[in-house]
Amino acid sequence: MFVRTILLLAFCLAAFTVRASLHERLKEAASAVGKDRPGAIDAYLEALRTTQSPPHEQLRYVWYGFFLAENDAQRLQVLDLASKIPLPEARMVLFGLTDGVSIQKQVAMAQKAQDELLARLPGAKRDKSGRVTFGQNPYDKMAAYECFNEPPPWVGRWSGAGVELDLNAFPSGTIAGRIRAAGTGEDRVVGWDEQAPRVFGPGWDAVWRGDRFVLNGQGRKNVALERVMVGRVGKTPPPNAKVIFEGRDMNALTDKKGGPATWKITPEAWLEIPPGVGDHRTRESFGDVRLYMEYRQSFNPEGINRKRGNGGVYLQSNYEIQLTDNFANDVNEALSGAIYHIATPMVNASAPPMEWQSLEVEFFTPRYDAAGRKTADARMTVWQNGVKIHDNVALPRITGGGKGETGDPLPINIQAHGGLLQFRNIWAQPLEVSCQ
pLDDT of residue 17: 45
**Whether pLDDT at 9 is above 70:** no
* Mean predicted lDDT score pLDDT of the chain: 91
In which band, very low, low, confident or very high, does the pLDDT at 133 lie, cut at 50, 70 and 90? confident
Read off the pLDDT of residues 359-416 as tens digits, 9 standing for 90 and up: 999 999 999 999 999 999 999 999 999 999 999 999 999 999 999 999 999 999 999 9
The reply to whether 199 falls in a domain is: yes
Of 296, 327, 331, nearest in space to 311 by CA: 296
Residue 3, pLDDT > 60, answer: no
The secondary structure of the chain, three-state, reads CHHHHHHHHHHHHHHHHHHHHHHHHHHHHHHCCCCHHHHHHHHHHHHHHCCCCCHHHHHHHHHHHHHHCCCHHHHHHHHHHHHCCCCHHHHHHHHHCCCCHHHHHHHHHHHHHHHHHHCCCCCCEECCCCCEECCCCCCCCHHHHCECCCCCCCCEEEEECCEEEEEEEEHHHEEEEEEEECCCEEEEEEEEECCCEEEEECCEEEEEECCEEEEEECCEEEEEEEEECCCCCCCCCCCCCEEEECCCCCCCEEECCCCECCCEECCCCCEECCCCCCCEEEEEEECCEEEEEEEEECECCCCCHHHCCCEEEEECCCEEEEECCCCCCCCCCCCCCCECCCECCCCCCCCCCCCCEEEEEEEECCEECCCCCEEECEEEEEEECCEEEEEEEEECCCCCCCCCCCCCCEEEEEEECCCCEEEEEEEEEECCCCCC
Distance CA 286, CA 317 (A): 9
385 part of a folded domain: yes
Q: Are 250 and 272 in contact (CB under 8 A)?
A: no
Asked if the structure places residue 148 within a domain, the reply is no
pLDDT of residue 137: 61
Q: What is the CA radius of gyration of the chain?
A: 24
Evaluate whether 325 touches 357 at the Cβ level (below 8 Å): no
Q: Give the residue from 81, 112, 140 where a domain finishes.
A: 140
Q: Are residues 189 and 250 in the same domain?
A: no
pLDDT at 11 over 90: no
pLDDT of residue 277: 87
Task: Tell me, yes or no, whether 72 and 191 share the same domain.
Answer: no
pLDDT tens across 250-267, in order?
999 999 999 999 999 999
User: Using an 8 Å Cβ cutoff, are 174 and 192 in contact?
Assistant: yes
**How far apart are alpha carbons 345 and 321 in whole angstroms?**
10
Residue 219 has what pLDDT? Answer: 83
pLDDT band at 7 (very low <50, low <70, confident <90, very high): very low
- What is the average pLDDT across 129-144? 72
Beta carbons of 339 and 395 less than 8 angstroms apart: yes
pLDDT value of position 4: 53
The answer to whether residues 221 and 250 belong to one domain is no
Q: Are residues 262 and 355 in the same domain?
A: yes
Q: For 209-220, what is the mean pLDDT? A: 92
Q: The domain containing residue 200 runs over which residues?
A: 156-228
Q: Which of 81, 110, 140 is the last residue of a domain?
A: 140
Is pLDDT of 16 > 70?
no
The pLDDT value recorded for residue 20 is: 61
What confidence score (pLDDT) does residue 135 get?
72
Q: Tell me, yes or no, whether 197 and 265 share the same domain.
A: no
Is residue 139 scored above 90 in pLDDT? no
| 233, part of any domain | no
Claim to verify: residue 132 and residue 248 sit in the same structural domain: no
* pLDDT above 90 (res 434): no
Split at pLDDT 50, 70, 90, the class of 13 is very low
Domain with residue 288: its CATH number is: 2.60.120.560
What pLDDT band is residue 14 in, cutting at 50, 70 and 90? very low
Same domain, 278 and 407: yes
CA neighbor of 67 nearest in space, from 99, 93, 48, 91: 93
List, in sequence order, every residue forming a beta bridge with 189; answer none if it has no partner.
177
Is the residue at 150 inside a domain?
Answer: no
Of the candidates 329, 298, 333, the one whose C-alpha atom is nearest the C-alpha of residue 143 is 298
User: How many structural domains is the chain composed of?
Assistant: 3
Residue 336, pLDDT > 80, answer: yes
The answer to whether residue 272 sits within a structural domain is yes
Neighbours of 87 (CB within 10 A): 18
pTM: 0.91
**Last-in-domain residue among 193, 228, 263:** 228
Q: Give dist(CA 89, CA 85) in Å, integer.
A: 9
Residue 339 has a pLDDT of 98
Q: Do 219 and 249 fall within a single domain?
A: no
Q: Assess whether 305 and 382 both reside in one domain.
A: yes
pLDDT at 129: 83
- pLDDT score recorded for residue 5: 47
Judgement on whether residues 126 and 161 belong to the same structural domain of the protein = no
Counting residues of the chain whose pLDDT is more than 90, the rounded percentage is 79
Q: 41 and 64 share a domain?
A: yes
Does the residue 145 lie in any domain? Answer: no
Tell me: do 251 and 285 sit in the same domain. yes
- Of 162, 156, 202, 210, nearest to 325 (Cα)? 156
* pLDDT above 70 as % of the chain: 92
Q: Give the C-alpha separation, 18 to 217, whole Å.
A: 28
**Residue 140: predicted pLDDT:** 65
| C-alpha to C-alpha distance for 25 and 394, rounded to whole angstroms | 46
Residue 147 lies in a domain: no
> Contact 428/315 with Cβ under 8 angstroms?
no
* Among 237, 358, 379, residue whose Cα is nearest residue 316: 379
Residue type, 303: G
